[in-house]
Amino acid sequence: MNRVLLYVKDSPSARETAQELASFLKSLGKQVEIYINRRDSKEKPKKADLVVVVGGDGTFLSAARSMARYSIPIVGINEGRFGFLTEVGKQEYKEVLIGIFEGRLVPQRRKMLAAYMIRRDKRKLIGYCLNDAVVSKGTIARMVELDVYAEDDYMLRLYGDGLIVSTPTGSTAYALSAGGPIVYPLSEVILLVPICPHTLSNRPLVIPSHFSVRVVCLSPKRMAYLTLDGQRVLALQKYDVVEIKNAPYECLMYTSPHRGYFEILKEKLRWG
């Protein structure tokens, strides 16, 4: 691992940490590139042997989507507010990075989802997500109407604010706030979590990860939207079909060697 990409949140504190980190990496003989994650940036991050995210969970999700197809491992250093994915603290990043370079730490393989849209019989890849793909209502306070299929089996017609299709990693994000279960991040499953369903019997459901989920939009144009990881948004038209399935790539994610998953749940979510 000689080439290291610093994927940095566009904030003064994250930039300062990135400069300190770059100096440390160069002292180890590493080649360092710094990419500032701006919303309006047309520049694309360069390939590397390791991606170090300096920011919060939003920056980590952006990096995961950008770098997934290259199978580049990622480690997150927390410079945000929550830091569930960017779980390595500034006080321990040197130890963690040395452990990565010496091969003592092994990345976890986190499942990602791929989202496709089928409109007038034309199928198009929209993108990938590490947390969730969400079909939900727009700003107008009306319910959306969705038909949901798992594989070729019709499941239900959903009236409500929308549907979250989540990975195990995303089970502690939007899905959790909508009443979904916490799922261990290495589990081989997909979560279906209705958002404010009109029918009380529409409860969250866990299905095998090899299943393909299809969501048919029955709401008028621009009444429903597809959102990936809360960041990429696409307006849907009536009869659009959103297909969500396992992505062909995984997120290779290094975690802190000092805290296990359940300890992080207790620390971040006050679980238990």
- 43-54 pLDDT, tens digit per residue, is 777 889 999 999
The reported pLDDT for the residue numbered 41 is 66
- Judge if 78 and 153 occupy the same domain: no
DSSP helix/strand/coil, 227 = strand
CA 270 to chain centre: 22
The confidence band for 94, taking pLDDT boundaries of 50, 70 and 90, is very high
- Judge if 65 and 150 occupy the same domain: no
CATH of the domain at 153: 2.60.200.30
Binding site residues for NAD(+), as ranges?
A: 57-58, 131-132, 142, 161, 172-177, 231
Candidate list 10, 40, 49, 57, residue with the active-site label: 57
Tell which residue, 103, 49, 97, 55, has the closest CA to residue 76: 55
pLDDT digits (tens, 9 = 90+) for 146-172: 999 999 999 999 999 999 999 999 999
DSSP helix/strand/coil, 215 = strand
- Judge if 134 and 64 occupy the same domain: no
pLDDT digits (tens, 9 = 90+) for 52-93: 999 999 999 999 998 888 999 999 999 877 778 998 988 899
* Average pLDDT, rounded, for the chain: 93
Range of the domain at 163: 112-248
- Judge if 48 and 126 occupy the same domain: no
The whole-number average pLDDT for the span 212-236 is 94
The answer, yes or no, to whether residue 141 has pLDDT greater than 70, is no
The reported pLDDT for the residue numbered 93 is 94
CATH of the domain at 32: 3.40.50.10330
- Judge if 182 and 75 occupy the same domain: no
The reported pLDDT for the residue numbered 42 is 66
86 vs 83, 172, 204, 253, CA distance in Å? 5, 14, 27, 10
Q: How many domains does the chain have?
A: 2
The whole-number average pLDDT for the span 12-41 is 92
Active site residue 57: yes
The reported pLDDT for the residue numbered 44 is 74
What the block records as the tokens of 187 is 């589990």
Binding site residues, as ranges?
A: 57-58, 131-132, 142, 161, 172-177, 231
The whole-number average pLDDT for the span 243-264 is 94
